[in-house]
A and B are shown apart, each in its own frame.
Chain A
Amino acid sequence: MGQALIITPVRPGQAGALNRYLAELPRDVAPAGPDDRPAVPISPFTGVLPPTHFARFVVIALHDEPHLLFSSRFDGAVSDYLQALAATPEAVRIWSHCQIGGRDDTVDHPSLDRYLCDPRHQLPSQYVVSAIPVKLTVGQINAAVALREQVSRFAVRAGDLDPWALAHDFRQLPAIRRLLTGS
């Protein structure tokens, strides 16, 4: 599991605009409705970056000056993840409110890529506690949760099934089929 933490000074007078832009990005808030599906579109970074366990952008105050904090835990190499992040138009928009120290301080994809992938800008965390084993990928976690959901739902209706239907229907569960085929 890779992780990144990058803190960047916000340009003077830009904190409000940056906060507004971050707040307006599509995000999946608390589930609404009986099917437990997000009521609004998912984050623009989902499916674009390597699988992400948790990630956040937030404007914080350090020495009474606004700074952008970006942090993420993800699958894969740090450089691959940050390169993919720098290639998104949303990331360029976000960091265009910040001082990344280019020649004319214009933020575009190449300058953001250089900035994010520079190890000097990546902060080490001194202490990390994770309840989720660090060796597991998002895909493995999602597969395990899907298996549990399917077996739990099946267990509810299993009492009404005769032995033949019980065995047949169990083996037809998508997660069980994947187990049986090894895919």
Chain B
Amino acid sequence: MRRQRSRSEKVTYRRWGAVTAVTALKRHQTLRLRAVFAFGNTTTLAIRPLLAMKVIALARWTLWPDARRPTYLLFETNWSGSEQTYIPDFGRIMPVQWRSIWGATTTFPGAVPTTYLDDWVDVIDAGVGHFWTDYRDGATTGTIAQALALGPEVERFVADTAGSSSAEFHRRWQQFIVRAQRLL
């Protein structure tokens, strides 16, 4: 069932990459994982480095509720950016978080060195059969973050320049561009 694919066969969907990883859990790990996830739900402290990458858009962990052994951990993620660097960067920046979650699975090779991690994710990734997003072309994790920060700046500029002369508009435009440059 597991699809063994070479990296070159992977597809990105417009600008979005997608991983669907299914991993069997070691025995007696479900409760520990639930505790890890419960802690994760109480604070964003542990994932700030991940969000700061402005690459990952979504990550979701689900325990498959089945009485049979083994139990499975399902992991889905979407990101925008280079597929070659996403998993290695993720592993390098957050090795403790990787260990705390995937250390509960039967085949986890460790977060570092990331070469092994990258190869492992390639093996456990089922990919996607069909994927879609209704975000417009040009939307990426990074551009969405910039756009959301730019919106209030533009609104303020529009409000400040309502009814102003051309000369005054020009002066305020220069100030706006300096302020908003990093968001454009």
Chain A contact residues, CB within 8 Å of chain B? 5, 7, 15, 18-19, 22-23, 25, 27-31, 36-38, 42-43, 45-47, 51-66, 69, 71, 73, 123-133, 136, 138, 141-142, 144-149, 151-152, 155, 158, 162-164, 166-167, 170, 176, 179-180
Contact = CB atoms under 8 A, between A and B. Distances in A.
B2 interface: yes
Contacts, number: 224
B62 A123 contact: yes
Contact of A126 (B62, B131, B139): B62
Interface string B145-184: 1111011001100100100101101100100010010011
A132 B57 contact: yes
Interface of B: 1-2, 11-16, 18, 20, 22, 33-34, 36-38, 40-41, 47, 50-51, 54, 56-66, 68, 72, 74, 76, 78, 126-139, 141, 143-148, 150-151, 154-155, 158, 161, 164, 166-167, 169-170, 173, 177, 180, 183-184
A91 to B, nearest CB: 11
Contacts of B143: 145, 148
B184 A54 contact: no
B64 A28 contact: no
A5 B56 CA distance: 20
A56 B131 contact: yes
Given A126-B37, A144-B148, A145-B143, 5 more contacts: A22-B129, A62-B22, A126-B62, A127-B41, A151-B150
Contacts of A60: 1, 20, 22, 74, 126
A29 B66 CA distance: 35
Given A22-B129, A66-B1, A129-B59, A179 B155 contact: yes
B46 to A, nearest CB: 10
B128 A57 contact: yes
